[in-house]
Chains A and B, each alone.
Chain A
Amino acid sequence: MKGLPGAFLRYRIMAWVTGVVLAVLTLWLIVGYGFLDYANTESKPGLYSLLWMLHGWLYVVYLIVGVDLAFRVRYSVVRTVAILLAGTIPFASFFSEALVHKDLERRGLLPA
């Protein structure tokens, strides 16, 4: 369990950053395609596409820190995959982070 607080902190940060970016993008997508005619590529702002690209790379980092954490706390395959997929579903990473937090606290793995 060496380095677990650090691994959990890294996972927490990435869960929040990836989650916030994805949440913003989801709302933006709904507004954009619903009201701002984003289906027409020319009305799509550059920042919007840039943010999707950013989310793609953030998710790669999320995967790495997520797997690192899962290894350290010996999560099952199913649980690990669920945590990793949470980074792709809007708002899911917040719940994932909260569940992992609760679980680690219950197991007494985090310093009080």
Chain B
Amino acid sequence: MARAMLRLALTPRWLAVAAGLVVLIVAAVLLGSWQWSRTQAILTAERAAAAEAIPVQEALGDGPELPAQSVGRPVTASGEYDATRQVLVTDRALDDRPGAWVVTGLRLPDASLVPVLRGWVAPGDEAAAQVPAGPVAIRGVLQPGEIFYADAPVTADSVVAISQGSLEQAWGEPVPPGFVVLVEQEPMTSPAPLPVPPTIQTGDVPFPLQNFFYAFQWWIFAAFGVFVYLRWLRIEARRLEPVD
């Protein structure tokens, strides 16, 4: 059978079919690669757009929950720290040194309050935890509120977890469902809390599934072309030289 198929494949008519098949395969493979690079290009562009800092209010949105695409989003904000809105988050180590995190409410021009994790302080280091006075411009990374220790006790100046509930209880006013991990502050004061890295670095971007599938479909078409050619050749070869 194999020999009969080969003989048939080398006839002018079937060579022409094979040439057509090669053109189809090359085209399908190239088109698939093109869709594949489109997929990567879209992802790169989306990630670049997501890495650009936007005003914190835009990232927070109006809803009761932090939008998924805002998690890990670089944000900017300008306002004044409210010295009456600062809590220490207890039991937070930095490089194995025990201490606490300092979360201070940044009062925005529209009077709303955004919690800012300014950094880590050693136990009792009140100088570093001092709330900077005057207007500041900050850049940081937006994080969703922590969800553990939801029932832990809250006082006016200490919490166990940075959650919307804990902060609202400590400060007695509404806060958004997320907080900003400080990366840069202008002007910077000294001494200041040591910066802590954001837990969630980058947010998710929508995956271009359509282009991803198209890439595979083109490659499936190429493989399908080969299959059809071989099956056709076999049927024809059998018809021309019935061996058994």
A9 CB–B CB distance under 8 Å: no
Judge whether A53 and B221 touch: CB under 8 Å: no
Which B218-233 residues sit within 8 Å CB-CB of chain A? Answer: 220-221, 224, 228, 231-232
A52 CB–B CB distance under 8 Å: yes
Mark interface residues in A27-63 (1 if CB within 8 Å of B CB, else 0): 0000000000000000000000100110011011001
A90 → chain B, closest Cβ, in Å? Answer: 18
A25 → chain B, closest Cβ, in Å? Answer: 12
A71 CB–B CB distance under 8 Å: yes
How distant is the Cα of A58 from the Cα of B235 in the complex, in angstroms? 27
B147 CB–A CB distance under 8 Å: no
A77 CB–B CB distance under 8 Å: yes
A21 → chain B, closest Cβ, in Å? Answer: 14
Question: What total of chain A residues lie within 8 Å of the partner, measured CB to CB?
Answer: 12
Judge whether B217 and A49 touch: CB under 8 Å: no
Q: Which bracket fits the contact residues of B?
A: 10 to 19
Measured between beta carbons, the chain B residues less than 8 angstroms from A20 are none
B210 CB–A CB distance under 8 Å: yes
Residue of A nearest to B217 (CB): A56
B209 CB–A CB distance under 8 Å: yes
Measured between beta carbons, the chain A residues less than 8 angstroms from B15 are none
A67 CB–B CB distance under 8 Å: yes
Residues of B within 8 A of A (CB): 17, 209-210, 213-214, 217, 220-221, 224, 228, 231-232, 235
The 19 listed contacts between A and B (C-beta, < 8 Å) are: A49-B209, A49-B210, A52-B210, A53-B209, A53-B210, A53-B213, A56-B210, A56-B213, A56-B217, A57-B213, A59-B217, A60-B217, A60-B220, A60-B221, A63-B221, A64-B224, A67-B228, A77-B17, A77-B232
